[in-house]
Amino acid sequence: MDFRISADDRVGAPDGRRNKPQARPAAKGQRVEPSMGQSMAFSVDQERPGGGAGGGKPPKSPRKPPRKGKAEPARSRRKKRSGGLLMGLLWWGFVACLWGGLAVIGIIVYYGAQLPSADTWAVPERPPNIRILAADGSLISNRGQTGGEAVTFRELPHYVPAAFIASEDRRFMSHFGVDPIGLMSVAIEMIEARGVTRGASTLTQQVAKNLFLTPDQTLGRKVQEAILAIWLEQNYTKEEILELYMNRVYFGAGATGIEAAAQTYFGVSARNLSLGQAAMLVGILPAPSAYNPKTNPEKAKERQQIVLNLMAREGYITQEEANAAKIDPNQTVRTVVAGSESYVADWVESLMTAYIGEIESDVVVQTTIDYKMQKDAEFIVKEQVAAEGSKRGFTQGALVAMDVDGSVRAMVGGVDYQQSQYNRAVTAKRQPGSTFKPFVYLAAMEKGYTPETLAEDAQFDYNGWSPRNASGKYAGTVTLRQGLAYSLNTIAARLAIDVTPEKVIEVAMRMGISSNLTPVPSIALGTQEVNLLELTSAYAPFANGGNGVIPNVITKITDVEGNVLYEASNAGPGRVIDPNVLAEMNDMLKTAVEVGTGRGANLGGWDFGGKTGTSQHARDALFVGYTSAMVTGVWLGNDNDTKTTLSGGNVPATIWSEFMTKAHEGRSPAPIPGGSYAGQLVAQQLIDPNTGMPMIDPATGQAMVQYVNGGTGEPVQTTTDPATGQIIAIDPTTGAPIEGLAPIGAQTANPPIQTGTMVDPATGLPVSGGIDPATGQPIQQVDPATGLPIEQGQIVQYDANGQAIDPVTGFPLQQKTQANGFGQAPIDPETGLPMTLVVDPATGQQVWVPSAPTSQQQVVQPGQIVPPGQVQQQQPVYQEERSQRTLMDLIFGN
C-alpha cells in the first residue's frame, strides 16, 4: 500500500488550505478515525528544492502566528526582554530629565523673580579709600572701609591673577559663569565622602555673592548667585571680573582687596608683590581668620606651598619657580605692625569731611609728617616708657612736634597702637599744670609788668582759695622771671587775680588754645583740661616772632587722577604778641630751661625756651619747649588718671631733649626771636576777616600786605624810593620820609666784615685784632636779644655810625667781657652793664641778675672795652624803673 504523510499532517501545518478535507466533528460517543486511500496534494518532496510535480514552485502563503499558549525558543525571549528593559530605561530617563528640567526651570524662575529687574542691575561702587602720604611721598596708611585702594588687573605682576585662578577657579577663563564640570566633580566627591567636601562656586559666582547677595548658604541664594554670575559674564570681560574679585575679597586683619592685604601683611604695594607673597595671600582666602600670617604663620606657609604647586600644575610657573618661591620653613613670617603713624592716619581721616565733604571716590592726602621724625619720636617715647614707667608708675606717653608755622611733623598718640587706638595727643584732654602759666605771665606783661617786677611768694587767701607751692616752701620777694622759672604757684595765682581770669582766657585763646575754659582764679595753675596738640601750637608764637598758628597736618588732597580737591594756604591769625612783650616772654622762658624747673632739657648749640608742667598728684607730667625752628610737647601719665612720681622736668624733659636733638640734626643753630621791632618798618599780610584767608590783589593775583610801624603796630603810608628801590615810610600830609623808621631793603655803605674784629665807634673802622687789653683775649660780639656770641666767621653789617649790626635781627651787637671769674657774663641790654651772678634765695641756684652802676663801674657802650677788674660783684637788685611797687602792692592797693 502506498502510504504517504501529507504536509498538512505535520505538527504546525498551516490551516485553511483549499484542498484540505474538512473533517467533520464526530458525533457524541463516536470514535474518530483518520482518512485512508485519499491522495494528498502536498508531499514531502514538494518541500525540497525543485521538488513537486511538474517541477513548479508552490505559491507562498502567509505564516500564521503561533497559537496561543505555544512555547517560543529561549534565545528569542532573552532578546526581547533586554531590548524592552533598555527602551524602558531610556524612556523613563527621558521623562525624569524632562520633569527635572521643568523643576529646575521652575526653581530658577521662582528665585529669579525675587531679584530686581535685570535692567536695574549694576556693580555697586567700591567704598572709597583714603591714601595718606608723608611729606616725602612715602605711605603712612590707608583709611576707609577696605583699608586699601583699588588696583587694576594690568598693574599687577602676571603671577598675582594667575595665583587666584589656579587656586580658586582653574577653568575661570573658559566657563560661562557657572562651571558644570566643577559641579559634577564636587558632587561625586561629596557622594564618595558622604558629606560636604568643598564649594563649587566659580570666581564669577563669588563676585556675584560679594557684590549683590548675603552670605546665607541656602538654595535660593545659590540659584540667584548663578543667575547673577551669568549676567556678569555677559556684561564684563574676564579681566574686569577678576579685577572686581581681587579688589573686593576679604583677606583678614581688616584688609579688603589685594592692595590692602599686601600693605597689611608685607608693607608693600600689590604692584610689587613677589611670587611667594602673592601665593601666601591667595592661600588665605579659604579661611582668612585661620590662614593669615599674622595669626598663624605656619599654616600660612602650608597654604602658600599648596597654591604654588597648583600654579605649577596649571602651567603658570615651573616647579622650580614654585620651589624657589617657598618661604624657608625656618624663617619667621614677618608682617607689618601698625605703628604710631596710625594715630596720624586716624586724625587725618577724622578731618576729611571737614576739608572736602562727603568722600565718594578714592583720594590721596599729602601731609606735613616727616616720616623719619615720626619713627624717631615713636622709638624715643616707647624706650623711655619701658625704661622708666615701672619705676615711676606710668604707662603711657604722647608727643607732638611741629614747625613754628604750625605744620605737624610728628605725632605719637600712645605707646602701642596695636593695643590701644586712643589718641592721647589729640583726643585726650588732661590738666596742663604749669605749662599753662606762660599765658598768665603774657597777660601780665601786656598789662605793663616786666620780668623784673617784684612779687611776694607766700601763702594767701582769696575768697576761700589758698594756692600753695608744690614744694611747700616759699621764697618771699622774687622777680617774675624767677616766679616763672621756678614755677611758683602763688606768683601765677596773684597775677591771674590781678589781670583777671577772663583776660588769661582771652590771651590763651589768642595764642591757640581752643578748648572751653572757665574764668576762675585756679586757671593760673593749669587746672582746666586741654589737649597736647593745642597746647603745643599755643607755644608756636613764642618761637616764630609772635604770629599765631593753626596746627595743620594736611597740605593737599587730590583724587586718583591728580585733580586738586583741597590745598592748604598760609593764612593764619596773624600777629598775636607785641614784639616787646615777646622779647620779655622769651627771656623768661629761656631762664626756665637754663636754671629753672626745665633745666633737665638740653639741646646742644641751640637757643631754646620752654616750660614744665605737673598736675596734682603728678597724674600728668608735661614739657613744652621750642627753638626758632620747631615746637615740641610731651605728655606722660596713665589712662586711668592715677598718680605717678613724675615731674615735667625729668622724663618728659628727657624725651623732649632726645627727640629735638635728632630733629635738629643738620640744621644751623639760630636764636629764638627777641628784642623790639621799634624803629623798623614791618610788612604784614592782610587777612579777610570774613573768611580768614589772605586778601588777593585782583590786579596782580598776589597776597596783599600793609606796612606798619614795628614799635607801635600802627599802619603807615609807604612809597618806593626811585633811586634805591627801597620801601620807605612817609608822612601822608607832607610826603616826607618818617624819621626813625628804617626803610625795608636798606643796605649799609660799609662792607661786611668778620666778627672778632672791633670797630672804633668814632670812625667806623676796624680796630686791629679785637683784643681785650686787660686780658689779651679776643672780644666776641653778642646779640643783645639773646646774649649769645655771634659765631666766628659769621658776616655782620655796620650802620652809619660804625656800629656792628646783626643781619638777622637788625639789632646792634654788644660785647661780652669777663666778670667775677665765672667766664663771660651776659650784658643787660637796658643798662649796658654786665649782669651779676648771684644765689637765688628760693632755690639756692646761681642766676644772673642786672647790676647797678657803682663808682667802680662804667656803663658798657657798644664798641667799648671794659676790663674785668673794673666790674665788681653786687647783691641782687630786684627794683627796676618800670615797677616801683611790689606785686603785692599792685594787687592789694598798698
For the chain, which residues make up each domain, given as ranges? 88-120, 151-325, 682-730
For residue 412, which of 439, 388, 437, 377 has the smallest C-alpha distance? Answer: 377
Distance of CA 796 to the CA centre of its chain: 45
Count Cα atoms within 13 angstroms, Cβ side, for 797: 12
C-alpha dist (Å) from residue 246 to 124, 239, 257: 15, 10, 6
DSSP 155: G
Least confident residue range of 328-332, 503-507, 630-634: 328-332
Asked if 749 contacts 799 with a C-beta cutoff of 8 angstroms, the reply is: no
Place of cell 610737647: 633
pLDDT tens-digit map of 437-462? 999 999 999 999 999 899 999 999 99
CA dihedral 465, 466, 467, 468 (to 10 degrees): -160
For residue 788, which of 637, 670, 639, 641 has the smallest C-alpha distance? Answer: 670
Helix (H) or strand (E) holding 139: strand 139-143
CA distance 229 to 213: 11
Max Cα separation, the chain? 197
Cβ neighbours of residue 79 under 8 Å, at least 6 residues apart? none
Question: Which residues are catalytically annotated?
Answer: 168, 434
Position 187 scores a pLDDT of 62
Position 343 scores a pLDDT of 96
Helices (H), 595-702: 651-663
Most confident of 483-497, 706-720, 781-795: 483-497
pTM: 0.65
Mean pLDDT of all residues in 696-708:
68
3 state SS of 572: coil
For residue 285, which of 338, 332, 326, 246 has the smallest C-alpha distance? Answer: 246
The three grid cell numbers given for residue 824, joined into one nine-digit string: 663771660
Q: What is the CATH number of domain 151-325?
A: 1.10.3810.10
The model's confidence at residue 675, banded by pLDDT at 50, 70 and 90, is: low
CA distance 530 to 517: 9
C-alpha dist (Å) from residue 257 to 151, 214, 251: 9, 18, 7
C-alpha dist (Å) from residue 794 to 39, 97, 627, 781, 811: 162, 100, 20, 11, 15
pLDDT tens-digit map of 129-147? 999 999 999 999 999 888 8
Asked if 726 contacts 718 with a C-beta cutoff of 8 angstroms, the reply is: no
Position 14 scores a pLDDT of 47
Position 610 scores a pLDDT of 97
| pLDDT at residue 1 greater than cutoff 60 | no
| pLDDT at residue 819 greater than cutoff 80 | no
> What mean pLDDT is reported for the chain?
76
CB count, 10 Å around CB of 468?
Answer: 14
Least confident residue range of 492-501, 645-654, 734-743, 780-789: 780-789
| pLDDT at residue 808 greater than cutoff 80 | no
3 state SS of 759: strand
Cβ neighbours of residue 578 under 8 Å, at least 6 residues apart? 446, 546, 713
Position 559 scores a pLDDT of 93
Position 429 scores a pLDDT of 96
Write the DSSP assignment of 88-113 as a string of letters: HHHHHHHHHHHHHHHHHHHHHHHHHT
Question: Hey, which residues does 462 pair with through a beta bridge?
Answer: 465
The model's confidence at residue 40, banded by pLDDT at 50, 70 and 90, is: very low
Least confident residue range of 225-229, 272-276, 607-611, 821-825: 821-825
| pLDDT at residue 799 greater than cutoff 60 | no
The three grid cell numbers given for residue 229, joined into one nine-digit string: 554670575
Distance of CA 789 to the CA centre of its chain: 43
| pLDDT at residue 809 greater than cutoff 50 | no
Mean pLDDT of all residues in 29-45:
39
Angle at alpha carbon of residue 351, lines to 346 and 357, rounded to 5°: 130
Write the DSSP assignment of 25-69 as a string of letters: PPPTTPPP----S---S--SGGGSTT-SGGGPPPPP-PPPPPPTT
pLDDT tens-digit map of 760-798? 433 344 443 444 444 444 445 544 444 444 443 344 454
CA distance 323 to 302: 13
What radius of gyration do the chain's Cα atoms show? 50
Count Cα atoms within 13 angstroms, Cβ side, for 832: 13
Asked if 580 contacts 586 with a C-beta cutoff of 8 angstroms, the reply is: no
The model's confidence at residue 116, banded by pLDDT at 50, 70 and 90, is: low
Mean pLDDT of all residues in 629-643:
97
The model's confidence at residue 399, banded by pLDDT at 50, 70 and 90, is: very high
3 state SS of 441: helix
Torsional sign, CA 255, 260, 262, 265: negative
The model's confidence at residue 743, banded by pLDDT at 50, 70 and 90, is: confident
pLDDT tens-digit map of 241-251? 999 999 999 99
pLDDT tens-digit map of 316-374? 999 999 999 987 666 678 788 889 999 999 999 999 999 999 998 999 999 999 999 99
pLDDT tens-digit map of 203-234? 998 888 888 766 666 666 777 788 888 889 98
More confident of the two residues 571 and 667 = 667
| pLDDT at residue 107 greater than cutoff 70 | no
The three grid cell numbers given for residue 800, joined into one nine-digit string: 652809619
The model's confidence at residue 689, banded by pLDDT at 50, 70 and 90, is: low
CA distance 393 to 72: 109
Write the DSSP assignment of 286-325 as a string of letters: T-HHHHSTTT-HHHHHHHHHHHHHHHHHHTSS-HHHHHHH
Position 804 scores a pLDDT of 54
Mean pLDDT of all residues in 458-480:
91
Position 855 scores a pLDDT of 33
Q: What length does the chain have?
A: 894
Position 278 scores a pLDDT of 96
Strands (E), 404-553: 408-412, 454-457, 476-479, 547-548
| pLDDT at residue 194 greater than cutoff 80 | no
3-state DSSP helix/strand/coil percent for the chain, to nearest 5? 35, 15, 50
Mean pLDDT of all residues in 504-511:
96
Asked if 414 contacts 343 with a C-beta cutoff of 8 angstroms, the reply is: yes
DSSP 613: E
Mean pLDDT of all residues in 616-622:
94
Position 586 scores a pLDDT of 95
Position 270 scores a pLDDT of 95
CB count, 10 Å around CB of 324?
Answer: 12
The three grid cell numbers given for residue 762, joined into one nine-digit string: 668814632
Distance of CA 67 to the CA centre of its chain: 101
Position 715 scores a pLDDT of 82
Q: What angle, rounded to 10 degrees, do the helices at 238-248 and 159-168 form? A: 90
What is the identity of the amino acid at 143?
Answer: R
pLDDT tens-digit map of 68-102? 555 556 555 555 566 677 777 777 777 777 776 66
Percent of the chain clearing pLDDT 90 (strictly above): 47
Place of cell 644765689: 839
Place of cell 612715602: 138
Helix (H) or strand (E) holding 275: helix 275-284
3 state SS of 853: coil
pLDDT tens-digit map of 519-571? 999 999 999 999 999 999 999 999 999 999 999 999 999 998 999 999 998 87
